[in-house]
A and B are shown apart, each in its own frame.
Chain A
Amino acid sequence: AQKVTQAQTEISVVEKEDVTLDCVYETRDTTYYLFWYKQPPSGELVFLIRRNSFDEQNEISGRYSWNFQKSTSSFNFTITASQVVDSAVYFCALTTDSNYQLIWGAGTKLIIKP
């Protein structure tokens, strides 16, 4: 079975705090891809990152960083020095070689308070 779990339904922090959004995935495929999307209050779905199963290097993009750990089947997302504009619902998703369709987590609603 393939599954993505985002156990944190909602997280609320004060601006400038660091925050980590958890994503745990399940698949038996050896080749798979993990994604993060952001859905701000305006509603659109914005692609943030894609990572394949053979690349465990962490990724940093400005205040955003992603920690991929195959040993724990996790692909966590950290926002450093959070800002109010980071408030959104963040989705983690998975595709595999046996299932090309996106398998979505339930999303984590992130609230950044000024």
Chain B
Amino acid sequence: DAGVIQSPRHEVTEMGQEVTLRCKPISGHDYLFWYRQTMMRGLELLIYFNNNVPIDDSGMPEDRFSAKMPNASFSTLKIQPSEPRDSAVYFCASSRTGESGETQYFGPGTRLLVL
């Protein structure tokens, strides 16, 4: 079975540009999570969805960040406009349920560099 798929794997952009990160969760998983990883702050949960509906976006740092899940097999995280401090690795993860103890499976990540 395919794991979580993310694209692109690497993105280099200039400050002010729009960035869109994409994720395809594992088929049959009802929960999708977006994380950001930086050296300073470690892994941070940005937002998560249940059955395509955003449940908690309290981790989204600013209004410049937005996420959508138009269907069960696709989600996007958009940054507009991007800033150098957004440089990080962005992970998408999915799980079968949202219950405590349910394992989250991570995609390979998108390494974003904003110049």
Contacts and interface: CB of A to CB of B under 8 A. Distances in A.
Tell me, yes or no, whether A binds B.
yes
Interface of A: 31-33, 35, 37, 42-47, 50, 52, 91, 95-97, 99-102, 104, 106-107
Contact of B106 (A45, A95, A106): A45
Q: Which 9 A-B pairs have the closest CB atoms?
A: A33-B101, A45-B106, A44-B108, A95-B100, A100-B100, A104-B43, A97-B100, A43-B109, A50-B103
Contact of B45 (A37, A46, A102): A102
Contacts of B107: 44
SS class of chain A's interface: helix, strand, loop or mixed? strand
B100 A96 contact: yes
Given A31-B100, A33-B101, A52-B101, A43 B42 contact: no
Interface string B72-115: 00000000000000000101010000111111111111010000
Given A45-B106, A45-B109, A95 B89 contact: no
Contacts of A104: 42-43
